[in-house]
Amino acid sequence: MPDLPLPDGVSLHVDRSAEQIARALAARVAAVLARRLAHSAGASLVVSGGATPLPFFRALSGHSLDWKRVTVLLADERWVPEDDAASNTALVKRHLLVGNAAEARYLPLKVSAETPDQGLKAVHEQLSELVLPLDVVVLGMGNDGHTASLFPDASELPSAMAPENDALVVAMSPASQPNRRITLTRSVLARARYTALHLRGDDKLGTLREACSDLPNVFAMPVRAFLKPGLEVFWSP
C-alpha cells in the first residue's frame, strides 16, 4: 500500500492491475447507484474524460441497474464537435453508454454555439432537470493538479472555484490546453453524495502526494478541494 499523507476520512483502494481497480470502482459505483435508485425516482452519475476511465466505463456498462432511471453527464467537456478525437461525449457514448448502460439518459455539456461562453445559457437550460446534489461523481486528475476542467492556469478558475458560485457550469480557457472547455463548478461537484478519484500511474501518485501537502492552497492544485472526508481514491500503477 503506498504511503500517502491522505487527509482523515479519505480512503485509498489499490490494485496492481488497472483492469482490476477499474472493476472495483465500477462495482462500488454500481452499488451506490443501486442504493440511490431504491430510495429515489432517479440517480445521477458524473464521469470524467481522458484516458484513465476507459476500463471503468467498460466494467460499469456491464452492471445490471435500472439504467433508464440513471442520468449520466460529464464533469467537463472539451468544446469540440463530437467527431473530434478530443470529445469526451464521444468517449462516453462509445465506452459507457453501451450494453446495459445504453438505456441511461445522457445530458451533454456542449451545444452548437461557437464558444463555451456563447453556449453557457443553452447548456444551463439543457441541465435544468438535473437534480442536486449529484449522486455519484467520478473524477480524474492531471499532473498539474487539475480535476474536471478546473485548471490552475485558467483565468476563470477563481469563479469556477468560488464556493458561493451556484452556477452549474463555467466556461474555461486554460492556457495549457488546445481546446476551450466547459466544466461543472466546484460547488456543484463538491456537494455530491459520493465522490471517487480514479488515478493510474506512479506520476499521479506523486501528484496526489503533493496535493495532500498543502490542502488549503486550492488554486494551485484544484483537486485539493475534493480531498475531504468520504472521498475514495482508486489507484493502480
Q: Which residues bind ligand 6PG (CB under 6 A)?
A: 48-52, 75-76, 88, 140-142, 146-148
Distance (Å, whole) CA 215 – CA 104: 36
Distance (Å, whole) CA 214 – CA 20: 31
Q: How far is the CB of 210 from ligand 6PG (least distance, A)?
A: 16
**Pairing state between β 70-74 and 105-107:** parallel
Q: How far is the CB of 177 from ligand 6PG (least distance, A)?
A: 8
Residue closer to ligand 6PG (CB basis): 52 or 185: 52
Return the residue nearest ligand 6PG (CB atom): 140
Residue closer to ligand 6PG (CB basis): 40 or 143: 143
Residue closer to ligand 6PG (CB basis): 40 or 155: 155
Q: How far is the CB of 61 from ligand 6PG (least distance, A)?
A: 18
Cell 500517502 sits at which residue?
Answer: 4
Residue closer to ligand 6PG (CB basis): 52 or 187: 52
Residue closer to ligand 6PG (CB basis): 49 or 101: 49
Residue closer to ligand 6PG (CB basis): 100 or 177: 177
Question: Which among 137, 154, 161 is positioned nearest to 53, based on CA atoms?
Answer: 137
Q: How far is the CB of 185 from ligand 6PG (least distance, A)?
A: 14
| 216-222, long-range: CB < 8 A, 24+ apart | 218/161, 219/152, 219/157, 219/158, 219/161, 220/145, 220/152, 221/144, 221/145, 221/146, 221/152, 222/145, 222/146, 222/147, 222/150, 222/151, 222/152, 222/157, 222/161, 222/186
Q: How far is the CB of 92 from ligand 6PG (least distance, A)?
A: 10
Distance (Å, whole) CA 209 – CA 147: 15
Q: How far is the CB of 236 from ligand 6PG (least distance, A)?
A: 12
